[in-house]
Amino acid sequence: MQYEQHDLRGHAHYGNIIPRALVVFLKLFQWVDQVLVRVVAVEEVEEVAADERENPKHYELACLPKNTVLTQILLRILVMFIGGFRGGGGRGGGFGRGGGGGRGGRGGGFGGRGGGRGGGRGGGRGGFKGGAKVTIEPHRHEGVFIARGKEDALVTKNIVPGETVYGEKKISVDVPDVGAGAEKVEYRVWNPFRSKLAAAILGGIDKIHMAPGSKVLYLGAASGTTVSHVSDIVGPDGLVYAVEFSHRSGRDLINVAKKRTNVIPIIEDARHPHKYRMLVGMVDTIFADVAQPDQARIVAINAHNFLKNGGHFVISIKANCIDSTAEPAAVFAGEVKKMQAEKMKPQEQLTLEPYERDHAVVVGIYRPPPKKDKQ
């Protein structure tokens, strides 16, 4: 009798060893998985765009799917295996609808209801919310509009109807046309949380100096999010020279430029304007969002080469990129002094709160014409 009891203990012992061994193996695999992700991130760090560098989690997630699919498969097998030894996981122990695995309940697993971007009810991006009648009003900045509806939004007129750049919402409005009834005009919603220029406009900036037909040199174009809206503003008669150093973001920028004939992508370092001097003519405005410690110098050397006398500049300044130990107000004041030393006269300064923390936009004029003496 004692022998039989000992034998049963042995079976139970082996039954516990196997799931435990699988748990140890899974933890080891996850550790290797994380190491592989770090290696991929290090190898490609030179190609990370400026906006992705500010939030490294975005870049890390972009690398994860290569490896974590195997982790998920092993995890599923482990749950099924343990369920076989311990009588199943009970209600909500899986990964599909109704899984949840504890907190979160319904929809807490992979593929659950409402889980994932655009999945389930209310996911994804579509037209303007609510389907209510939307009216378009011109903003005081020429080329920019406001969509009045259930929710007001800042918009620009899409010069490439039917196309989006970063998954933004589109609004189609019927505009009366002489002799042809009504014509559909498409606008794109401009997200201030993804564009420093949009944040400045909603913050009440006095002038952006980007009227339809103007020529703009855009430094730090990244993937072309804001560039596409500037392209809408200046229109077919205008021109946007978009400079971006990162080759990874440059690929996205080139794809944007393929459909927008008024955008000229330049994949070069803005510190060396002589490398693209044959591509860029004299411009009316320089917009800069380069987030570098020597940002003022970068803008100044480009202004000396391409900005006409009496032209304007719009600079987005991130305090932490210049001096993370100083107060933001002190950093902004220091940058203004650097601009003044380069014949750049700041006229306006605006914080980007609540859209961006410790950011400011400075607008000014380059080599202003001398004032005439009053007689």
Residue by residue, what is the 3-state secondary structure of the chain? Answer: CHHHHHHHHHHHHHHHHHHHHHHHHHHHHHHHHHHHHHHHHHHCHHHCCHHHHHCHHHHHHHHCHHHHHHHHHHHHHHHHHHHHHHCCCCCCCCCCCCCCCCCCCCCCCCCCCCCCCCCCCCCCCCECHHHCCCEEEECCCCCEEEEECCCCEEEEECCCCCCCCCCCCEEEEEEEECCCEEEEEEEEECCCCCCHHHHHHHCCCCCCCCCCCCEEEEECCCCCHHHHHHHHHHCCCCEEEEECCCHHHHHHHHHHHHHCCCEEEECCCCCCHHHHCCCCCCEEEEEECCCCCCHHHHHHHHHHHHEEEEEEEEEEEEHHHHCCCCCHHHHHHHHHHHHHCCCEEEEEEEECCCCCCCEEEEEEEECCCCCCCCC
Q: What is the mean pLDDT of residues 111-115?
A: 39
Q: What is the pLDDT of residues 7-22, one digit of tens each?
A: 444 444 545 566 676 6
Residue 35, pLDDT above cutoff 80: no
Residue 176, pLDDT above cutoff 90: no
Poorest-pLDDT segment among 62-66, 298-302, 338-342, 349-353: 62-66
Poorest-pLDDT segment among 125-129, 238-242, 302-306: 125-129
In the chain the domains, ranked by start, together with CATH numbers, are 135-190 (3.30.200.20), 194-366 (3.40.50.150)
Q: What is the pLDDT of residues 177-233, one digit of tens each?
A: 655 667 889 999 999 999 999 999 999 999 999 999 999 999 999 999 999 999 999
What's the confidence (pLDDT) of residue 7? 45
* pTM as predicted: 0.65
